[in-house]
Amino acid sequence: MIAYNRTWLDALLTRDTARQWHHKGLLSDEKWKTVQERFQAPFYTPNVFVRIGLAFFCLILLTAAIGLFILFTGADSEAGIAALSLLFGLASIAFLEFWAIGSARHFASGVDDMLLYFGISMILTGLCSRLPYDTDFLVYCCIAWPFLVAGSIRYIDRLLAAAAFVCSLLIVLLIVKDIPRLALYLLPFSGMLFSAGAYFFAQKGQERYDWRHWHGLLGVVELLALVTFYASGNYWVVQQAGAEMFQLELVPIPWFFWTFTFAVPALYIFIGLRHKNRLLMDIGLGCVAAAVFTFRYYYHVLPLAWAGVIAGAVLFVSAYFSIQYLRSHEGAYTYDADGDTTLLQEIEEQLIEQTIASQNPPTSGEKDGFGGGQFGGGGAGGEF
């Protein structure tokens, strides 16, 4: 099912876990070197800057190949463009399977990423370009859904997993939207139910060892499900959607959606603290900001400047006393940094390493002698 070598993927997981243990001091230097030597994963995986550069270079080559092919074949009709899109899409996927992954052993190198995105985009373009202009958007979502799901599963791609989640949510909402007389009431609850189901599916999936290679994708689904669950019941979102789709200014059962707007962020934070879930706490804090924005959009209790000053002061005081408490009380929560490195931290480390490596050693400005002049007379020239 996975296009990459599973043994090498397991080796990467083992090395990542051992690296975290070594960073936390739970693994000695000798044992860390032993893990590195024993668990080899001969993938070609460059740093993030090379990955971005290779992705853009691959995109330029692919678009140039399409342009040359159109120039020499003259396939400028709609049918010709659709057939050409399908041809290049299938060729990109085949090139990804047999060369990039099979022979060159690329894994998250930028080349395999771009071949995957380009191939799926071309296939969908070829399939959808021949549809009538008045085709419902639901049809496009149903055509794209299997390719997004299959691509995310086979190539362990998080971006495709996020696109598949959004596409699935759109399919549910577009189906519910066409239910007569009940769509206005069912749309928010259908979004909540879908998001809740996706969240619990991702939670259970991350507990399964045989799904270990897809834990990153399930983490993306979990994050998006938390966001869409709150957005489905946020008062501002429901009011804007009702005005856009049904030309309604008043939200039905407004007390429920106002309660939902402020209760769900508090629930996220409470559950996150109780179960030591960092993701729930972070999303909960973001939803608190969204709830404040929603309230400010409809009710102006204070001027914006004063509201910002008061909110900033409250956050600063809360952060200060929280840090002091965590430093003096050891327990389930700590102010110390975790062993997991984020993408921004990896970029910072690579920038520092490349900056130091690219610096030339300082040279002495003094000359070993008189240097010789430009005129005769023992070097007495116009410069010393």
Interval 321-376: pLDDT, tens: 777 776 776 666 665 555 555 555 555 555 555 555 555 555 554 545 545 554 44
Give residue 318's pLDDT: 75
| DSSP assignment of 65-87 | HHHHHHHHH---SHHHHHHHHHH
Write the CA distances from 22 to 17, 66, 336, integer angstroms.
9, 48, 16
Q: How many residues does the chain have?
A: 384
- Are residue 160 and residue 185 in the same domain, yes or no? yes
Domain boundaries, position 135: 131-222
pLDDT in tens, 137-171: 999 999 999 999 999 999 999 999 999 999 999 99
Write phi, then psi, for 106 (nearest 5 degrees).
-75, 140
Task: Judge whether 79 lies within some domain.
Answer: no
Same domain, 214 and 295: no
Amino acid residing at 33: K
At 384 the pLDDT is 42
| Claim to verify: residue 252 and residue 210 sit in the same structural domain | no
CA–CA gap between residue 14 and residue 220 (Å, rounded): 21
Q: What Å distances lie between residue 343 and 161, 258, 317, CA to CA? A: 18, 36, 29
- Report whether pLDDT(117) > 90: yes
Helix (H) or strand (E) holding 188: helix 183-206
Choosing from 327, 349, 377, the residue where a domain stops is 327
The helix/strand/coil state of 300 is coil
Q: Which phi and psi (to 5°) does residue 375 adopt?
A: -125, 170
- Count of domains observed in the chain: 2
pLDDT tier at 82 (50, 70, 90 boundaries)?
confident
> Distance (Å, rounded) from C-alpha 24 to C-alpha 145?
42
* Spatial CA neighbour of 243 closest among 235, 369, 10, 342: 235
From 181, 200, 222, the end of a domain falls on 222
What pLDDT sits at residue 376? 47
